[in-house]
Structures are given as structure tokens and as C-alpha cells.
Amino acid sequence: MQRTNWTDKKQANAATFRRAGGGGSSSGMADLAPLACNLDALSPEERRRRAALADEITAAFRHVRETADGYAARIDDDPALCRRALEWLLLERRCCPFLDLNLALGGEQGAIWIHFGGGPAVKEFLSAAGLAARATDGPHAAMTCRAVGGRCTC
């Protein structure tokens, strides 16, 4: 199984991705804006911290599922892990502002989900970054959940 390496987005950035932008033309075609990560939006220290957090949090994914506009990953209900996930997302949104990032906290001892989205082109971008290969449901499912006995309890 190939693990997602969020510290190296060269594979995802190598392909040309376009996102439908606001407005449109007289032919009805939406204007297209490029999707691109801008790691220069972070200082060298912030880039190192973002990379370390990305590696830690993605390694902690218990379940990845495909959503309508991207992917969602479940992590353990651990307050320290949740704080680090939030720190990662706050850094990530600065270098990848085209992403819609959400940290969803369930009720008492509920699931904690990180949602990565932004539309069809963003979903394609996330797929190229490796999330599709980690999905445990949907058309790109490629692995089983690491939860109870390999059976997803999400």
C-alpha cells in the first residue's frame, strides 16, 4: 500500500488542474483558474511544521471516505491529536487556499472528521495527492479501515 506523502505535492502539482471560477463567458463556459499550492505563503519554519503535522495526521487516519466534493478522513478522538490537526489545517489553508478544509467534531466521544473539498477539480487534485487510494468506500476504495478487526465501525 502506498502512503500519501503530503510533504511532497510535486506529483499533484505536476498535472494541470483547473477550477471553475466565478462568472462565465457568453458561451456559458465558466472561467478557469489554476489550482496551485503556494508553499512560499509559509515561512521555512512553518513549512517544516506543516510537513511534520501532515505526516503525523495522515498517518493517524483511521478511515478515508469519498465525499461529493472531495474526501473526509476520520481520526481518533484524542484532544492532543485534534489540536495538531487544527494547527495543520490552519497552515494548509494558507498555502492551498483553494481547499475547503473542515474539522468536524462529533458529540460526546463522537468521531472526528477532517473534510478536504472544494469541487470536482479539487477532488481530482486530492485524488492525485493520494486520498483516493486511501478511500475505504466509494469507487476508489483500495484498503480496509484499520478499525475493529479490519471492519469499519465509522
127 residue type, one letter? S
- How do the pLDDT tens digits run along the chain, 154 residues long? 333 344 444 333 333 333 333 333 333 333 445 688 898 999 999 999 999 999 999 999 999 999 999 999 999 999 999 999 999 999 999 999 999 999 999 877 678 999 999 988 899 989 888 888 888 765 444 333 343 333 344 4
Domain ranges of the chain: 37-150
C-alpha cell at 114: 477532517
* Assigned C-alpha cell, 82: 485534534
Residue type for position 46: E
